[in-house]
Amino acid sequence: MASSEACEIVNPVRPMRLPSRRLSGACRNVCGLVAAALLSACSVTPPRDQQDICRVFEQHPHWYDYAVDAEERWGVPAHILLSFAHFESGFRSNAKPPRDWFLWIVPLPRPSSAYGYAQAQDPAWREYLEETGAGWFSDRDNMKDALHFIGWYNRKSHEELGISVWDSRNLYLAYHEGRAGYRSGAWRKKPQLIELAERVDWQAREYGAQLRQCEDRFKCDSWYQFWPLCRK
């Protein structure tokens, strides 16, 4: 697993201009390979088995710590947070809404600015940063930040709409439609959305049952976690 989940090559090294065109071409090839290797090292592979939260945490142990931290801060259960991330992005850090193409040649604008594990749109992400003081180093393609965003949004839905933090079905409806959209009840005329929310709820329940069977394996599994810092 990469040391950082949101890697960025801030100042990529540019090849020196050499008098020989042959050497310049070789340099470009080498630099391209190096850049590709760095980007590959920075990426986080989606879990192989996304239906089992225990397998998810086995592949990405730090995600357990991130989920528990977000649960402790926002009061939204960890298994619900992971279910949202699963359905929003398939645990792909750079997920974006698919774009349409004009005549199969010209790419059209994407339908929204949603991005990352939580598919947070630009306005909601800015609101999250301003309200929480998370800082501009927070990124939507970082699982820790994404889980905190999901927890923050659902907490606000709980406070403003009265939805229980355990009610993943209605929390997801508010997450998808926005709190104003949920309040208007427009979602009641969207059977596909309701079906999706029920799938999110089912997956959250499955994750919760699975986590109760394996959670002890992920507590205090890092060298820096020792009593009284452990969650035993």
| Torsion region of 147: left, alpha or beta (phi above 0 gives left; psi -120 to 50 gives alpha) | alpha
Q: The domain 53-218: what is its CATH number?
A: 1.10.530.10
Predicted local confidence at residue 52, as pLDDT = 97
Predicted local confidence at residue 9, as pLDDT = 31
Q: How far apart are CA 62 and CA 139, in angstroms?
A: 16
- Residue 185: DSSP 8-state: T
Q: Is 57 helix (H, G, I), strand (E, B) or coil?
A: helix
Domain ranges of the chain: 1-43, 53-218
Predicted local confidence at residue 180, as pLDDT = 96
Cα–Cα distances (Å) from 201 to 82, 117, 206, in that order, read: 11, 18, 9
Predicted local confidence at residue 184, as pLDDT = 96
Q: Who contacts 85 (Cβ-Cβ below 8 Å, separation ≥6)? A: 91, 117, 118, 143, 146, 147, 150
Q: What is the pTM of this model?
A: 0.76
β-partners of residue 115 are 120
Instruction: Give the closest residue to 172 by CA, choosing from 81, 95, 92, 110.
Output: 81
Predicted local confidence at residue 228, as pLDDT = 55
Which residues in the chain land under pLDDT 70? 1-43, 97-112, 221-232
- Residue 220: DSSP 8-state: T
Predicted local confidence at residue 196, as pLDDT = 97
